Chains A and B, each alone.
Chain A
Amino acid sequence: MHHLMTKKNISFAGSIALLFLFFSVIHAWAKVDDTVVPSMDVRAEEIFVAGASASDAEEDDWIDEDSWDEEWEDEELIADPLEPLNRLFFHFNDKLYYWVLKPVARVYSGVFPVEIQIAVRNFFDNLRAPTRAVNCLLQGRVQNSSQEVVRFALNSTVGIFGFGDFARDVLGLNSSNEDTGQTLGYYGAGGGFYINWPFLGPANFRDSIGMVGDAYLHPFIFLDVDWEVTVGAWALEKVNYTALTLGDYELFTETALDPYAAVKDAYQQYRKGLIENK
């Protein structure tokens, strides 16, 4: 990713970020101005409740009688023209998990207690706040977007570099899981064919483009951090995540008959849910 960055790109990303920050601050102020707010706590709760009721309104067709009995209708099958190659990479990632990631994560979780692991996860998660904020905004979710900005500002400072989730724990400001792939989906882009990347795992064409977009919005990239550091950080995040979810991958793949097919379908369902914000 490093070689893709030019000075021009950095200043472009920088100005977008600045514009965005400016916009959300204005927006947050405007909100405070037109309502008499007794305390920050109540405001946070309001935002949270507003978000919850919005998703309540969305109907879930899972319960509908029609879909209940006609479940056997074929859902759209994800195209997989690269299947032989994808299976090869799936196998590679599988081995990478059992031979490298899992043993390392075991040692790691023996050394660092769960509290530290959660803090590390928070740290990396906080670095994705700009990605989430921009993508919320691109999907017209202005409130969620400013919430992400507030979260980023608070958690990076009061939360000490994002190790703590002050905004969630104290103000009840939850994060919204948005990324560039979802934004493309929001504007009607289909997933395209399935790609199982080595190291990165399951994706499709749309979300792979999304991953590039996400990378450009990541502080490591727009602050032009050395690529060795970026790769190291990525590996640490991966190990930390594995330590927190040890056993989940094994359980899923060992109770599936064709783990490749099961992971492919789970990915599709998971992304669909995220795009529809269920």
Chain B
Amino acid sequence: MLQHKSRIVVILLTMVCLIFGARGAALAKGPMNQLQVAVDEIMEILQSNELKGTDQKEKRKQLVLNVVVDMFDFREMARSSLGPSWNDLTAEEQDKFVGLFTSLIEERYIGKIDSYNNQKVIYKKERIKGSMAIIYTAIVDNELEIPIDYKLKEDQGKWLIHDLKIENVSLIANYRRDFDGILRKEQFAGLVKKIEEQLENSKHQN
């Protein structure tokens, strides 16, 4: 009898675990969880002993990029960084610009990621409003908390980053101002040339 009872308890417990486990998996689809999973993945790559050292730099970079590409909506970011001028471009020009913009962002963030030294990321809170969300995080660098906020939009169950603010400086707004000055003086062709030159320079430096 006692054995029977304990078996029921075990079954009940298993069921409870299953139900809550499934609920947990459903919750994991929230924007903050998705971001956390991706960031953890990047950290794992950066902390991996097999991938340490300068000779592994390219491989490490590629692995990180594979994760990063799935986190950001580069096309939307590129469009937004260009402002109204985006609509004046042909479809081919738009595609070309998205490619260049993506490389520029990768250059900036891969460069930063490469100096990663076991900094801790704190996930503070998320605010969701329909298909949009903001996630407030901070990275602890040399005992100093640097706030990083992500703006995301949901696309078929997947939350993609549309902008990020580091210490309140929005990446997209900053690039928009930067690009705007060049577009005014040198139009789209001048902008493309400038980005290509910049990417060429950073290739030489690395």
Q: Which residues of A contact B (CB under 8 A)?
A: 56, 60, 62-65, 68, 71-72, 75, 114, 117-118, 121, 165, 244, 247-248, 251-252, 254-258, 261-262, 264-266, 269-270, 272-274, 278
Tell me which of B134, B142, B175, B191 contacts A117 (CB under 8 A): B142
Residues of B within 8 A of A68 (CB): 132
The answer to the question of B115 belonging to the interface, with a C-beta cut-off of 8 Å to chain A, is yes
Q: How far, in whole Å, are A255 and B80 apart by their CA atoms in the complex?
A: 18
B177 near A254: Cβ-Cβ < 8 Å? no
Residues of B within 8 A of A258 (CB): 178, 181-182
Tell me which of B104, B134, B173 contacts A265 (CB under 8 A): B173
Tell me which of B84, B107, B195 contacts A257 (CB under 8 A): B195
Tell me which of A60, A72, A118 contacts B134 (CB under 8 A): A60
The answer to the question of B143 belonging to the interface, with a C-beta cut-off of 8 Å to chain A, is yes
Q: Interface digits, B92-135 against A, CB 8 Å rule (1 contact, 0 not)?
A: 00000000000011011001100100000000010101101110
Tell me which of B142, B182, B202 contacts A255 (CB under 8 A): B202
Q: How many residues of B contact A (CB 8 A)?
A: 43
Tell me which of B151, B191, B202 contacts A254 (CB under 8 A): B202
The answer to the question of B37 belonging to the interface, with a C-beta cut-off of 8 Å to chain A, is no
B127 near A266: Cβ-Cβ < 8 Å? no
The answer to the question of B3 belonging to the interface, with a C-beta cut-off of 8 Å to chain A, is no
Stretch touching chain A among B44-52, B65-73, B163-171: B163-171
With both beta carbons as reference points, the residue of chain A lying nearest to B106 in the complex is identified as A255
With both beta carbons as reference points, the residue of chain B lying nearest to A254 in the complex is identified as B202
- From residue B172, how far is it (CB to closest CB) to chain A in Å? 8
3 closest Cβ contacts across the A-B interface?
Answer: A273-B168, A255-B108, A265-B177
B202 near A257: Cβ-Cβ < 8 Å? no
- From residue A177, how far is it (CB to closest CB) to chain B in Å? 10
Q: How far, in whole Å, are A258 and B179 apart by their CA atoms in the complex?
A: 8
